């Protein structure tokens, strides 16, 4: 049985474990970061469970000046692009689906449900330039390239995607 619910404080360890398991990253700061993000204005997060086990999650919050990623985006975007995309914007921070659960519609479900009832004018997210599966999903859901390539304090190239809401 599949169940989609809002992320609660009790889910933070589960989504942190799911993140590390999915991305094969032993980052001890993940749970603390996810908990901090949950306190940000406009935070909305969803967890998808199958037979009570987490298989995916998504979350975002209102993107604001002074926030780490918002500032990285501001450095990469022109003044016009900043006005168009970062004013009244939902920043989608994470979309994670277990590899064995991908291509089953779970990512699309999570993203679609996250966007429901969002009051922002735009949404923005980033993914790796060569993450063709994610890019295909986002394109299918109506996201468009805002900036490519984008280097958020890393040598790895990313793409900034935006969606008018």
* 128 vs 104: CA distance, rounded Å: 21
Q: What pLDDT tens digit does each residue of the chain (165 aa) get?
A: 899 999 999 999 999 999 999 988 888 899 999 999 999 999 999 999 999 999 999 999 999 999 999 999 999 999 999 999 999 999 999 999 999 989 899 999 999 999 998 999 999 999 999 999 999 999 999 999 999 999 988 889 999 999 999
DSSP E strands: which ranges in the chain? 2-6, 44-50, 53-62, 89-97, 122-128, 144-150, 158-164
CB–CB of 149/134 below 8 Å? Answer: no
Give the three-state DSSP class for 85.
Answer: helix
pLDDT at 142: 97
Report all structural domains of the chain as residue ranges with CATH numbers, in order of start.
2-164 (3.40.630.30)
With H, G, I as helix, E, B as strand and everything else as coil, classify residue 144: strand
**Helix, strand, coil shares of the chain as percentages rounded to 5?**
35, 30, 30
Identify the pLDDT of residue 109. 97
pLDDT for the residue 44:
98
Separation CA 89–CA 115 (nearest Å): 12
- CB count within 10 Å of CB 39 equals 8
| 78 contact partners, CB below 8 Å, separation of at least 6 | none
| Model pLDDT, residue 26 | 83
pLDDT, position 153: 83
Count Cβ atoms within 10 A of the Cβ of residue 158 and give its class: 0-12 exposed, 13-18 middle, 19 or more buried.
buried
Residue 130 confidence (pLDDT): 96
Residue 17 is predicted with a pLDDT of 95
Give residue 160's pLDDT: 98
Alpha-carbon gap, residue 141 to 133, rounded angstroms: 13
What is the reported pLDDT for 132? Answer: 95
């Amino acid at each position: 049985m599949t169940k989609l619910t809002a992320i609660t404080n009790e889910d933070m360890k589960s989504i942190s474990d799911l993140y590390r398991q999915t991305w094969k990253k032993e980052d001890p700061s993940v749970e603390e970061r996810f908990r901090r993000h949950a306190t940000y204005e406009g935070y909305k997060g969803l967890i998808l469970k199958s037979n009570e086990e987490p298989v995916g999650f998504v979350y975002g919050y209102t993107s604001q000046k002074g926030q780490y990623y918002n500032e990285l985006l501001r450095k990469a975007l022109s003044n016009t692009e900043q006005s168009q995309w970062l004013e009244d914007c939902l920043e989608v921070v994470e979309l994670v689906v277990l590899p064995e659960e991908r291509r089953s519609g779970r990512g699309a479900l999570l993203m679609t449900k996250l966007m429901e009832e969002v009051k922002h004018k735009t949404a923005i997210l980033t993914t790796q330039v060569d993450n063709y599966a994610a890019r295909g999903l986002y394109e299918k859901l109506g996201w468009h390239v805002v900036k490519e390539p984008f280097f958020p304090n890393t040598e790895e190239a990313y793409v900034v995607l935006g969606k008018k809401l």
